[in-house]
Amino acid sequence: MDRVAVALEYVREMASGTVDVSQKIPAGYTPSWIERTWLSLFDGRNELLTFTAIAFIMHEMVYFGRYLPFLACDYIPALRKYKIQDNKE
């Protein structure tokens, strides 16, 4: 039961507060451009909502992006002979 209480407290803390990025970076460490960009997504924002938005955007990119190679194949004339439904565009 102790682990459940700790997990619930962590979720409550994550959902209620914002993130101070300056506390996450060790003293004397200079983050790279990618690290600075990633941390700037969370600076002053709710961590839970930010992760939710990132996960949703990533899901949509993969979901719709997997169709792009097939869309490109529709416009290559040499590949039209392999089309299953010739009468459909």
pLDDT at 89: 64
Distances (CA, A) of 77 to 69, 72, 82, 83: 14, 10, 10, 11
**What pLDDT, on a 0 to 100 scale, did the predictor assign at position 69?**
93
Three-state DSSP at 31 gives coil
In terms of residues, how long is the chain? 89
pTM beyond cutoff 0.95:
no
At 14 the pLDDT is 67
Consecutive 10-residue runs of the chain (89 residues): their mean pLDDT? Answer: 78 71 81 88 86 96 95 89 77
- In angstroms, rounded to a whole number, what is the distance separating the alpha carbons of residues 14 and 2? 18
Tokens 């200079």 identify what position?
A: 30
CA–CA gap between residue 3 and residue 75 (Å, rounded): 55
